[in-house]
Structure 1
């Protein structure tokens, strides 16, 4: 794919094409992914909390 998975702009380098993101979108996506991972809880945490699911 030669378009950025985030913004849709045409990717110019082979490295960007391989990754699927341009350099700016790659940084933005990495920050969003890190934030998402921070707020996730595991199944073990749910079980330990005693909350019925």
Structure 2
């Protein structure tokens, strides 16, 4: 069985059960984490365009 992400053979029983290799699983989890991150400006967004932190006072 091959890893769907990197196309390398899956060697361990756990990787075969998961269907993805351990390195690719970590990379995938990190990418999902980054997708869900918000900037402070998104949190505090009040419709104004904040170019600097001084504008937020």
Above 0.5 in TM-score? yes
Which consecutive aligned stretches of 4+ in structure 1 deviate over 4 angstroms post-superposition? none
The structure with the largest alpha-carbon Rg is 2
Choose between structure 1 and 2 for higher RCO, CA contacts under 8 A separated by at least 6 residues: 1
**Number of residue pairs aligned between Structure 1 and Structure 2:** 39
TM-score, with normalisation over the residues of structure 1?
A: 0.59
Q: Structure 1 unaligned runs (5+)?
A: 40-53
